[in-house]
């Protein structure tokens, strides 16, 4: 992520720290509070463009897709007075962009905003888009059927649609980026499925380390067409604040030069989860937290530089059956952790692992197993899935390949469907 700003010197208790603000990441009400502007339910609430929202069916909707954009300068010059409530103290920071350095948060806006709303349209929306109880059950069965196939890198596994009101942001992200197309195909009407696929592809591009910056203009076009078609598919009051903001999402990726997930609330939310797990009782939570963190740091120091790599071996044969660190888990015995995509885009199922030289060095790990023989596009709308390294694969080879860890492109989420497998490379 690039730093647009200058370093600043901040003195705390006699110590000088160098601080640079890259971006302020928070949800829409907190952004409005910090910027001292109208909230997301206000007529002039869009932080990125100057359109006046329209009140419809107890909601404020933003139907224009090409309104004049707000910039750091127009914000500073108060070009649209109705947007502002007061002067924010943050405006006193030199060279700080009050528009550009407040990115829209992927977790709140896209996962908890757009994906949740789309699912609620399907579950209890108008007749034209609502699913029948049989269709909802079919989708839930598909989601439940892949619970054991969800790689360990996801901290939540799929749940049925009957629990959607209680889904966490991670579950909406999993649905949007991986499981949704498989779960809803043939249940959701073709027109709505194609519309969802536009969102699926655009957000996968914007979350990809390799594609986000280079292809953000294409993703922006896709999101424009997704938002434009919302009214036709889900009614005139469907383009609310979060849906409308999709047309501005790609601009943040371009400005930050980083994929969406790199400047979202997800890391903070995950850390909060860890903190909650550390605290055992209601007494002195802060003391408990500092002690547990100090213990954890001491343990890491004791383990040395490769200490975070865990290698599990069969006690009888001594063969490695699982290797894991904070980022990745590979296993020979669990399907959910057994598939990797190689740099030549073939997909290998791990059947054996060993270290070529230094034990416990991931770079010396050798993976042995068969690869799929045949690959095809899993979908072709709005673009060929192979462009995103997503494939339909079948017929696993009888012979085995042996590859070094450095030749792995990504670990994969593999979903069986009929006589083939759907292969999604992980984005994180
Ligand atoms: Zn706008």
How far apart are the CA of 372 and the centre of ligand 1, in A?
45
Q: Of 102, 123, 147, which closes a domain?
A: 102
Q: How many domains does the chain have?
A: 3
Express each pLDDT in 182-223 by its tens digit.
999 999 999 999 999 999 999 999 999 999 999 999 999 999
Distance from the alpha carbon of residue 52 to the mean position of ligand 1, in angstroms: 9
Establish if 84 belongs to a structural domain.
yes
Shared-domain flag, residues 138 and 63: no
**418 CA to centre of ligand 1 in angstroms:** 43
Do 204 and 116 reside in the same domain of the chain? yes
pLDDT score for 305: 42
Nearest alpha-carbon partner for 408 in 374, 362, 373: 362
Instruction: Say how many Å lie between the CA of residue 71 and the centre of ligand 1.
Output: 12
Domain boundary among 77, 102, 127: 102
The answer to whether 230 and 203 have CB atoms below 8 angstroms apart is: no
CA distances from 422 to 94, 303, 369 (A): 50, 39, 18
Same domain, 124 and 243: yes
Same domain flag for 72 and 184: no
Q: What is the pLDDT of residue 306?
A: 47
CA of 55 to the centre of ligand 1 (A): 15
Residue 273: inside a domain: no
Going from the Cα of 149 to the center of ligand 1, the distance in angstroms, rounded, reads 39
Note residues around ion ligand 1 (Cβ under 5 angstroms).
46, 48-49
Q: What is the spatial distance between Cα 180 and Cα 197, in angstroms, rounded to a whole number?
A: 9
Max Cα-Cα span within the chain: 74
* 361 and 244 belong to one structural domain: no
Q: How many angstroms does the Cα of residue 248 sit away from the middle of ligand 1? A: 7
Residue 346 neighbours by CB distance under 10 Å: 18
Helix (H, G, I), strand (E, B), or coil: what is residue 109?
helix
| Distance in Å, CA 243 to ligand 1 centroid | 10
The torsion defined by the Cα of 229, 234, 237 and 240, in degrees rounded to 10, comes to -70
Q: Show Cβ contacts of residue 415 under 8 Å, excluding neighbours closer than 6 positions.
A: 146, 149, 179, 182, 421, 422, 424
DSSP designation for 326? S
Is 380 contained in some domain? Answer: yes
- Low-confidence stretches of the chain (pLDDT < 50) are 301-306
Instruction: Answer yes or no: do 37 and 126 share one domain.
Output: no
Whether 208 and 143 map to the same domain: the answer is: yes
Q: What is the pLDDT of residue 370?
A: 97
Ordered DSSP codes for 231-257: HHHH-TT---HHHHTHHHHHHHHHHHT
- The CA-CA-CA angle for residues 324, 203, 246, to 5°, reads 140
Judge if 252 and 118 occupy the same domain. Answer: yes
- 315 and 389 in a single domain? The answer is yes
How many Å lie between the centroid of ligand 1 and the Cα of residue 23? 19
Task: Report the separation in Å between the CA atom of 420 and the middle of ligand 1, taken as the mean of its atom positions.
Answer: 42
Query: Is residue 149 domain-shared with residue 172, that is, in the same domain?
Result: yes
Could you tell me if 256 and 156 lie in one domain?
Answer: yes
How many whole angstroms from 30 Cα to the centroid of ligand 1? 18
Q: How far is the CA of 97 from the centre of ligand 1 (A)?
A: 17
Distance of CA 44 from the midpoint of ligand 1 (Å): 9
SS3 assignment, position 292:
helix
Q: What is the pLDDT of residue 294?
A: 81
Domain containing residue 230: 106-263
Q: 32 in a domain, yes or no?
A: yes
- What is the structure's pLDDT at 336? 97
pTM attached to this predicted model: 0.92
Ligand 1 centroid–CA 119 distance in Å is: 23
Question: For position 282, what pLDDT does the model report?
Answer: 83
- Same domain? For 50 and 173 the reply is no
Residue 66 is predicted with a pLDDT of 92
CA of 63 to the centre of ligand 1 (A): 9
Phi, psi torsion values for 51, nearest 5 degrees: -70, 150
Question: Is 30 a member of any domain?
Answer: yes
User: What is the Å distance from ligand 1's center to 4 Cα?
Assistant: 23
**pLDDT recorded at residue 173:** 97
pLDDT at 259: 96
Residue 304's pLDDT is 40
């Amino acid at each position: 992520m690039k730093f647009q700003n200058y370093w600043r010197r901040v003195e705390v208790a006699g110590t000088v720290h160098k601080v640079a603000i890259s971006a302020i990441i928070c949800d829409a009400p907190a952004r409005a509070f910090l910027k001292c502007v109208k909230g997301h339910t206000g007529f002039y609430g869009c932080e990125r463009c100057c359109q006046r929202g329209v009140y419809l069916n107890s909601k404020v909707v933003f139907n224009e897709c090409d309104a004049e954009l707000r910039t750091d300068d127009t914000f500073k010059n108060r070009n649209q007075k109705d947007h502002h409530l007061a002067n924010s103290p943050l405006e006193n920071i030199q060279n700080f962009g009050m528009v550009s350095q407040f990115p829209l948060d992927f977790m709140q806006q896209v996962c908890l905003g757009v994906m949740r709303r789309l699912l609620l349209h399907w579950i209890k929306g108008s007749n034209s888009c609502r699913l029948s109880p049989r269709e909802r059950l079919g989708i839930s069965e598909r989601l439940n059927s892949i619970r054991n196939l969800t790689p360990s890198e996801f901290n939540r596994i799929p749940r049925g649609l009957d629990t959607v009101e209680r889904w966490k942001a991670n579950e909406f992200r999993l649905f949007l980026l991986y499981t949704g197309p498989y779960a809803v195909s043939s249940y959701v009407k073709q027109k709505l499925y194609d519309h969802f696929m536009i969102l699926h592809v655009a957000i996968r591009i914007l979350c990809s380390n390799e594609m986000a910056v280079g292809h953000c203009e294409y993703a922006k076009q896709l999101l424009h067409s997704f938002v434009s078609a919302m009214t036709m598919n889900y009614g005139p009051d469907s383009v609310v604040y979060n849906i409308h903001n999709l047309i501005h999402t790609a601009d943040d990726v371009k400005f930050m030069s980083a994929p969406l997930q790199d400047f979202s609330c997800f890391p903070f939310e995950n850390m909060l989860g860890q903190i909650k797990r550390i605290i055992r009782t209601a007494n002195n939570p802060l003391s408990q937290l500092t002690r547990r963190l100090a213990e954890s740091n001491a343990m890491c120091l004791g383990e040395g530089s490769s200490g975070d790599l865990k290698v599990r071996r069969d006690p009888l044969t001594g063969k490695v059956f699982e290797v894991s660190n904070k980022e990745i888990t590979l296993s020979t015995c669990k399907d959910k952790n057994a598939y990797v995509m190689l740099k030549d885009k073939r997909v290998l199922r791990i059947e054996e692992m060993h270290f070529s030289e230094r034990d416990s060095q991931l770079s010396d790990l050798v993976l042995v197993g068969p690869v799929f023989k045949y690959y095809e596009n899993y979908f072709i709308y709005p673009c060929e899935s192979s462009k995103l390294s997503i494939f339909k694969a079948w017929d696993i080879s009888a012979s085995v390949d042996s590859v070094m860890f450095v030749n792995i492109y990504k670990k994969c989420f593999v979903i069986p469907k009929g006589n083939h497998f759907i292969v999604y490379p992980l984005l994180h």
